[in-house]
Structure 1
Amino acid sequence: MLPWLMPYQVQLTTLVTKSNLAHAILFTGPEGVGKTKLADWLIANLLCTNSDIQHNPCQQCKSCLLRKAGNHADLLIIDASSSSIGVDAVRQITRFMQSTAQQQHKKVVLLANAERLTEAAANALLKTLEEPPENGYLILLSAYSARLSATLLSRLQAWPLPAQFDQNAAQWLAQHSNRVVPDFLLSYCSGGPLKALDLLESGKADAIQLSLSSLEHYFFGEQSQQETVKQLLATEQVAGILGFYLRKTFMPQLLQLNAERIPLAHQYYIRWCRDEQQILGQNKSLALSGLLTDLRRLCL
């Protein structure tokens, strides 16, 4: 288990042992903090028929083997990869929860990206949550829990997993990668060490660092706009890199120069983000050049 999740593992173990675990749980926290890992452990814990005294799943019983093979009849994992989760998915959950368990006495549903529930789907889910089956457990995951309705949130037991920015998280990253961990990386990933590790191992962190340095050189007049635009467009995360640089570097500097211009900087960036997905080819370069020009003028 990830070290920063161990306290939650202990608490959940106690609840499972005493049969006090809520039937509807919501794990929240930034992308890459470990929501899925904690949920997977809890699911294994609930479904295992031979867990030890500390409720660690044995990984060897029939139930554990079926779960690991992806064929457990008492586990339903909802496909949450599309942009929205509709009523049909909730109907599937309802039918599953109402059916009889086949392996033990527990049935578990995992629903990731819960913020993607449509309004109709969320309302339909409320009916299931109002009278959850005694042996049924619904585990929801979300990095954007503020997008869930207050009514739905009131039916869920929330487990916030805080962002990890401290030295312990940095040390964990260093222990799991042979690459040098840039100082900005955990902050860029909003405190999600797993996301940071993925960027680090894929080499994307290096490209992000080059782009941030390129922006720094541009706004200090040490690099041409053409070079900066070329560097930014060579990455897959232009909007994220720009947003991070504006938030961490540009806005604090502009605050010292002319605080009244900060709303304009926000306006320029939001407008560019709104249009960026619809701009193609050479127009991408022109639009990005226009944004950089507008931002630089604010510093004059």
Structure 2
Amino acid sequence: MSYAAALRETLREEMRRNPNIVILGEDVGLWGGVFTVTLGLLGEFGPQRVIDTPISEAAIVGAAIGMALAGLRPVAEIMYMDFITIAMDQLITHAAKLRFMSGGRIKLPMVVRTQYGIGRAYGPQHSQFVPSWFLQPGIKVVAPSTPADAKGLLKAALRDDNPVLFIEAALLYEITGPVPEGDYIVPLGAADIKRKGSDATIVAISRTVLEALKAAEILSKKHGVEVEVIDPRTLYPLDLKTIAESVKKTGRLVVVTDEIRSGSVASEIVSRVAEDPDVFYSLEVTPKIVSSPDMPVPTPAPLERAYMVSSEKIVNTVLSIIR
């Protein structure tokens, strides 16, 4: 099943299970979403539960907050992650704070789905991956890399009583993989070891998990290097225990992300490793980060490819700390 189909089927299953789940966003109804994730849901559930909205991200997230306060479980779609900046006040100042400000009396079960478009030559205003902007108490941030994780994490997010930012990647929508049937749930806050290894730890985020796994194959077959690949899946709160145990075993850490390096989740992971003496003193070399350069995403496809994280860049970085 494709990544997009896994998301679509999960939304359908959960909407059948819970009549309080509603979807709202730009083109989510008649068009089925810009990447077809909500295709067919309007026909089954009707315009009261699949709502096409005007182009106003602040209004979309603000309406979702109101719906959640009224007892619904809204899924707000923000077409591109770049556009979520317009809704930062609603999401960070209000949604993330209401439960704390009410002493835990208010529940705010809402999911904000969005995606980043790197790799499709969409340009600097439709391609940014900026999860670190949302590492705020009161909101959970997830970024699945496989169809199975997309299903399991979305089910968990839809059943959570707190706001969840659910980040997808445009390049992942068409990938395929096995997806468990039935009520498959991946707990929020749990990392997944995608490949076992003993020579180095690679922590890869979202789309870059695929590049890390390609790199792991190359390193194994051509260089005899066995790396452990960890997908955090949930970026806030981070499963630091799984990362720490792996780094203590391998003594080497490479963190991979489509973010720019400055102020990134990758930098946060390295910082946390450095602050833990048990992990820090197990390191044989300093940690490395493979990221996008600190510049906007270029529009021309050849420049974008040069800009992006690749398996080749990961291989070279791992070899630099092994040799």
TM-score, normalised relative to structure 2: 0.32
| Bigger RCO (CA 8 Å, 6+ sep) | 1
Larger Rg: 1
Relative to total residues, which structure has the larger strand share, 1 or 2? 2
TM-score, normalised relative to structure 1: 0.34
Relative to total residues, which structure has the larger helix share, 1 or 2? 1
